[in-house]
Structure 1
Amino acid sequence: MFNPRLGAKAAQKDIRGALRGAVGPGGSQPQPLPQRVGSGGGRGLGSTRGSEHRLRHSSSGMGSPHWKRLCLLLLAAFSSSLVLYGHYYATVELPAGQRIIASLLQPEPLLLAPSGTSHPAGSHRALRDSLERESFKPSSQPEERNRRQPSPCPRSVVEAARAHPAFGELFQFATPVLMWDQHFNPETWNRLKERHVPYGWQGLSHAAISSTLRLLNASANRQLFDRRHFPGGCVRCAVVGNGGILNGSRQGEAIDAHDLVFRLNGAVIRGFEEDVGTKISFYGFTVNTMKNSLIAYEEYGFTRIPQAEDLKYIFIPSDVRDYIMLRSAIQGSPVPEGSDKGDDPRKYFGPEVSAEKFKLLHPDFLHYLTTRFLRSELLNMQYGHLYMPSTGALMLLTALHTCDQVSAYGFITGNYEQFSDHYYEVEKKPLVFYANHDMLLEAELWRSLHQAGIMELYQR
């Protein structure tokens, strides 16, 4: 049965190896897994493998057809619950008394928006093998970031990363961060159709991808921001997660002092301005996390997606529905197909939006981030194809590849048990570790980047 603590330890060992210069351009990624249903410190229903083991044990020990039938019924009920709910939780006691609760699918408690694509059994092996064997090849069209030499900042991300013996090898700043119309060609299609989302387009239709990308044809779609708007030349960015460490932090003024501010998912601002500020330049999400956040965090005041004239939206292409929603948002028309059919994008992004408002992360960029920075032992689990870095991790790493200086607020730190899961919760709730993310690996990465002077991590 999967042990979250062992998986996290192995993943942390992996990133520590990277810091010793052991990680090359290839990699494998993290994976979500089936776990145990339980609450508190009580015993719960075991994993699939554990259930099978107990079934065999009960059958051989009892030898009664009644017990065999009973165990088969229990196993069938357990399997049905996976189909009906799409995810379940696991509670594992750690030596320090910590509890890691793992959910199989979504970063929100409810699977309100099921995936539009299915993955055959064993597909996680192909994904893992792909990540292990592929060497990332930077685009022949370098990002604006790579043409800036030198940076006027006292110590930029690029300078700090290149000076570090391990991170200097991990960072490839020529990697395309965003995807736009010129990226869509036969070579790209043939290559990416072999990878699962979010790292490619396997199982997605050519029409769905091409019809969306052809709309991303403005210069604003090619870069996260225009450097000409920052005459000083040093672009300072804050990435604001939703962690409970920000409750009572009084970091709002410091956050708003940055040139650009990234927020994500259930970014509650009203009532917490002193702690998290009010400025917002980018809002990052997948369609699934966006919709689930609107329901899960409505009681805390998150009743609509942030809207502002200067705000830009960063789509994370985790499924075909992200491409379809993006296309409909640019066209200003209801979603024509899929799980969001009939949905009006204007209620999320405002009545008057254009293609310039939207950014789309490149599948190659997501592949690169996972293989080099956030490889996890979760990939070796049964549901490995569900793994991807968290939304917060993707936004923070996006900022690290585009901004000159980066500060992270509201991200997991070593003393996370002292704080609630989110900063806007009235009563303290324990941090939840979901099985499609490796939060402890992410925590180790943030700590290492902070210690290397590549970014500033808010801690208390």
Structure 2
Amino acid sequence: MTDGSPSWSLQTEGRCSLRKAVHRDQQLRRHFNFSVPGLQWAGSFHKSAWQRLSNHAPPYGWEGMPVNVVRSSLALLNSPVSSVLFERPHEAQCVRCAVVGNGGILRGSKQGHAIDSHDLVFRVNGAVTTRFADDVGTKTSFYGFTTNTMKHSLILYYEEGFTQVPQGPEVRYIFIPSDLRDYVMMTAAIQGLTVTSGEDAGDRPWRYFGFKPPEYFKMIHPDFITYVTQRFLKSPLQRYRTGHLYMPSTGALMLMLALHTCDQVSAYGFITSNYADFSDHYYDSVKRPLVFFANHDLKMESWLWDVLDHKQVLRLYKRTGGS
């Protein structure tokens, strides 16, 4: 991982690129490094990568994982587009992305049309769209998750309408490698096979994702998670006894991935300073307060989104009042 200014030229950036806002701000230039790989792919696995990343526990590396499982899993990400999030139809296109969190701020927001008007839409975890199209839209380009958060969401929010993960011909799936099971699940999904080992043994991934070729599956790079944590979300929670549990939230990683890939990014349903005015999720049948746990620092994330919004790197949806 390098340290310094982003490795790109303003001459090659589109007129709408958020990178111009980064370039204009000295503080942001010290934090952003657009050369850090966002995704793993077949070429990510080699001897030196294994020697380095096997010394770091997930999600920051491969410590404790069988080398053959990691190697064989990443070898399946061998499509010409596996190393990139998306291909641009033409170089000058301004790619506008919406990243949709599940915060209660979206209930009654009537932001569905605005969200769906973006070129690409990211959703995460319990991404309920049934009955909430007016507020959150229906378009999904990328669905981001860990195997654990996906399966828990299908259980916890089933009664609220999350009966299956987003599916359709345009949906790509972004795994966050928080555990060995993410590599195992992705391998079975690409191969169209039942999971044969581990906590998810017996799972049939096509029930979640359908049958899709390798280019529909992405996996975030451990180096990117390390970079986001160290440069943007280095939380005091890491110093506590439970610090080994800490990592950026699923929504934070999706939003940061979009900021390092898209030209314009809008964030909807993310925590804002008046989070207490709203329910935890927009699909909650009764109002529930947001609960903070040791594995994420949502207050630090809220501060970061506010700073990036103020500096015009992203557009953060805010509103007053409660729901």
TM-score, scaled to structure 2:
0.95
Contact 1:158 1:404 in 2 (8 A): yes
Q: Which residue of the partner structure matches residue 455 of structure 1?
A: 314
Q: In the alignment, is the contact (CA less than 8 A) between 2:242 and 2:294 conserved in 1? A: no
Unpaired runs of 5+ residues, structure 2, are none
Q: Deviations over 1:248-303 (max 9, x none)?
A: 10000110110000000000001000000111100000000000000000010000
Relative contact order (C-alpha < 8 Å, sep 6+): which is higher? 1
**Residues 115-171 of structure 1, C-alpha deviations (whole Å, 9 max, x = no match):** xxxxxxxxxxxxxxxxxxxxx338xxxx9x9588432233x2211111112111100
C-alpha offsets along residues 181-239 of structure 1, whole Å, 9 cap, x if unaligned? 111100000000000100001111101100101111111211100012x5751000000
**Aligned partners of 2:193 and 2:205 also within 8 Å:** yes
- The answer for the alignment partner of 1:355 in structure 2 is 214
Q: Whole-Å Cα distance in 1 between the matches of residues 92 and 169 of structure 2?
A: 23
Q: Which has the larger radius of gyration?
A: 1
Assess if the C-alpha contact under 8 Å between 2:18 and 2:313 holds in 1: yes
What residue in structure 2 maps to residue 158 of structure 1? 19
Q: Quick one: distance in 2 between partners of 1:207 and 1:231? A: 38
Aligned to 1:44: none
**Aligned structure 1 segments of 4 or more residues deviating by more than 2 angstroms:** 145-154
- Structure richer in helix, relative to its length: 1
Q: Is this contact kept in 2: 1:151–1:233, CA < 8 A?
A: no
Query: Is 1:246 the equivalent of 2:106?
Result: yes
Q: Report matched runs for 1:135-174 at 5 Å.
A: 136-137=1-2, 146=8, 149-154=11-16, 156-174=17-35
Letter in 2 for 1:328: A
Q: What residue number does 1:266 align with?
A: 126
Q: Measure, in 2, the Cα distance between the counterparts of 1:246 and 1:276.
A: 7
For structure 1, the residue ranges without an aligned partner over 5 or more in a row are 1-135
Is contact 1:220–1:356 with CA below 8 Å preserved after alignment?
yes
> How many correspondences in the alignment?
317
SS at the partner of 2:81? helix
Query: For 2:45, which of 181, 184, 192 is the aligned residue?
Result: 184
2:189 corresponds to 1:329: yes
What amino acid sits opposite 1:170 in the alignment? Answer: H
Q: Does 1:340 align with 2:200?
A: yes
- Partner SS for 2:266: strand
Q: Which residue in 1 is equivalent to 2:78?
A: 217
SS in 1 for 2:26: coil
SS of the residue corresponding to residue 427 of structure 1 reads coil
1:197: which partner in 2? 58
Cα distance in 2 between the residues matched to 1:459 and 1:361: 28
Compute the TM-score of the two structures, normalised by the length of structure 1. 0.67
| Partner SS, residue 166 of structure 1 | helix
Residues 431, 181 of structure 1: CA spacing in aligned structure 2 closer, same or farther, 3 A cutoff?
same
Cα 1:459/1:355, change in 2 over 3 Å: same
Q: Please, which of 287, 291, 297 is the counterpart of residue 428 of structure 1?
A: 287
Distance in 2, Cα, partners of 1:421 & 1:192: 35
Counterpart-to-counterpart distance in 1, 2:57 and 2:87: 32
1:414 is the counterpart of 2:273: yes
Distance 1:398 1:436 in 2: 20
Task: Read off the aligned partner of 1:321 and give its amino acid letter.
Answer: R
SS at match of 1:169: helix
| Aligned residue in 2 for 1:175 | 36
Work out which of the residue numbers 287, 303, 311 in structure 1 matches 2:147.
287
- Contact persistence 1:333–1:344 (CA under 8 A): yes
Residue of structure 2 aligned with 1:226, choices 75, 87, 98: 87
Q: Which residue of 1 aligns with 2:263?
A: 404
